[in-house]
Structure 1
Amino acid sequence: MTCYAIDGVIPVVSPKAYVHPTAVLIGDVIIEEGVYIGPFASLRADFGGIHIKNNANVQDSCVIHGFPNTVTIVEEYGHIGHAAILHGCHISKNVLVGMNSVILDYAEIGENTIIGANSTVKAREFIPANVLALGSPAKVIRPLEDKEIAWKSKGTEEYICLAQRCLNTLQEVQPDTELQAGRLSYKVFVSQHEIKIDPDKIT
C-alpha cells in the first residue's frame, strides 16, 4: 500500500485488513481488521479523520475525504461500491452505498440502508435505517425487505472473505502469453440458497 504521514500523523492499518498496493492512505486514517480497500481507492485524511471499522469494504476508485474537525466514518460491515465518493459523512452499520454514488458533508445513512447506484445524498441529509434511497438528490423510495438486507449482507461477507484471500494469495505476476493446460479459473455456480433480488429494485 502507499501510505503518507502529514503533520506527523500516520495512518493506522490492522494487519488483519487488506489494502491494495495501488490504494493511497494519507494522514489520520484508521483501518480496522477484516477491512478490504480496493485498487486505486484514495483515503485522504489531511483535514478531518477517516475511520473504516471492522469488516467494511471500500472498493475500486473510491474517494474518501472530509472537512477540518470532522471524521468520515464507515461503520462495521459498511459496503462502499466502486467509484463512490464519501465526504465528511457517517455511514452506519451494514449500509450499502451503490457504485458512483456521492455522500456529502454531515450526511448520515442509517443502519442496513441501501443507497442506489449513481445517487447523491445532499449535505446534512439524514437517510433513515432499513430503507432503499436513490436519485440525485437521493430520496427514500420504500422500506427494504428482509431478503434484500440479507442479500446485501451476503455480498459484504464475500468482501470479508476477499480481504483474507488477498492477504493469503494475491501476488503480482507476469501474465501468461497463451492459455495453459490445467489453468485455474473461477467456476460459475448458483447456490441453492441464493437469494433472488430484482436488480431494478436496487439500482
Structure 2
Amino acid sequence: MPCYSIDGVVPVVDPTAHVHPSAVLIGDVTVGPGCYIGPCASLRGDFGRITMLAGANVQDSCVVHSFPNREVLIEENGHIGHGAVLHGCTVRRDALVGMNAVVMDDAEIGAESIVAACAFVPSGTRLPDRSLAVGAPARLLRTLSDGDVARKREGTEVYHALAQRCLHTLREVQPLAAPPADRPPLNLPDLRPLTAAKR
C-alpha cells in the first residue's frame, strides 16, 4: 500500500487489519485490529489525526481528512460506505455512514446510527444514538429499532470477514483471457440490503 510519513509521523496498521494496496495512508493515521480499508481510499493524516478502532471499515474511494489539531475518530465497528467523505468528525461505535455521504467538521454521529446515502451532515451536528438521518442538510427521520440495528450489524460483520478473506487470499494476478468451465462462484452469506430496514 502507498504509505507515507510526514514530519516524521508514520501511519500505524494493526497486523490483523487489511488495507488495500491502492489505498493511501499519510502521516498520523492509526488503523486498529480487524479493520478494513478498501481500494482507492485516502486517509490523510497530514493536518489532524485519523483513528480507526477495532472492526471499523472505510470502503472504496472514501476520503478521510481534517483541519489542524482536529481528529477524525471512527469507533468500533464504524462502517463508512463507498465514496463517503469524513472531515474532522466523529463516528461512534456501530454507526454507518452511507455511500457518498459527507460528514463535516465537529459533527458527531451517534452510536448505532445510520446516515443515509448522499446525506450531508453539516459542521457541528450532533446526531443522537440510533438515529436515521437523511437529506442535505441531514435531518433526523426516525429512531432505529433493534431489528434495524441488527441488520446494519450484519453488513458490518461481512466487512470483518472480508478483512480476513483479503489477508488470507487477496493476491495481485494477471487476468484470464476467458473464464474456465469449472469457475466456482463466491461462497458468501445471503445478506439483506439495508433498504430492508425501511420496511
1:118 aligns with 2:118: yes
Residues 131 and 83 of structure 1, relative CA distance in 2, 3 Å threshold:
same
Distance 2:175 2:62 in 1: 26
Deviation at 1:178, TM superposition (A): 1.1
Q: What is the SS of the residue equivalent to 2:133? A: strand
Distance 2:106 2:4 in 1: 26
Output the aligned Cα RMSD.
1.7
Distance 2:186 2:128 in 1: 38
1:150 matched to which residue of 2? 150
Q: Is the 8 A contact 2:151 2:197 kept in 1?
A: no
Deviation at 1:188, TM superposition (A): 7.4
1:139 aligns with 2:122: no
Residues 142 and 70 of structure 1, relative CA distance in 2, 3 Å threshold:
same
Distance 2:197 2:53 in 1: 30
Letter in 2 for 1:40: C
Q: What is the SS of the residue equivalent to 1:27? A: strand
1:77 matched to which residue of 2? 77
Distance 1:189 1:101 in 2: 26
Distance 1:82 1:188 in 2: 20
1:201 matched to which residue of 2? 198
Aligned residue pair count: 199
2:64 matched to which residue of 1? 64
Residues 170 and 150 of structure 1, relative CA distance in 2, 3 Å threshold:
same
Q: What is the SS of the residue equivalent to 1:159? A: helix
Residues 189 and 72 of structure 1, relative CA distance in 2, 3 Å threshold:
closer
Deviates more, 1:46-55 or 1:176-185: 176-185
Q: Is the 8 A contact 2:147 2:197 kept in 1?
A: no
Cα offsets for 1:57-91 (capped at 9, x unmatched): 00000000001111100000000000000000000
1:39 aligns with 2:36: no
Residues 137 and 170 of structure 1, relative CA distance in 2, 3 Å threshold:
same
Taking the TM superposition and a 5 Å limit, the aligned residue runs for 1:177-192 are 177-186=177-186, 190=190
Q: What is the SS of the residue equivalent to 2:173? A: coil
Taking the TM superposition and a 5 Å limit, the aligned residue runs for 1:17-32 are 17-32=17-32
Distance 1:128 1:121 in 2: 13
Residues 189 and 129 of structure 1, relative CA distance in 2, 3 Å threshold:
closer
Q: What is the SS of the residue equivalent to 1:173? A: coil
1:166 matched to which residue of 2? 166
Q: Is the 8 A contact 1:147 1:195 kept in 2?
A: no
Letter in 2 for 1:52: M
Residues 69 and 189 of structure 1, relative CA distance in 2, 3 Å threshold:
closer
1:87 matched to which residue of 2? 87
Deviation at 1:198, TM superposition (A): 4.1
Deviation at 1:51, TM superposition (A): 0.2
Deviation at 1:182, TM superposition (A): 1.1
1:107 matched to which residue of 2? 107
1:176 matched to which residue of 2? 176
1:98 aligns with 2:98: yes
Q: Structure 2: which 5+ residue stretches go unaligned?
A: none
Residues 152 and 200 of structure 1, relative CA distance in 2, 3 Å threshold:
closer
Q: Structure 1: which 5+ residue stretches go unaligned?
A: none
Q: Is the 8 A contact 1:121 1:137 kept in 2?
A: yes
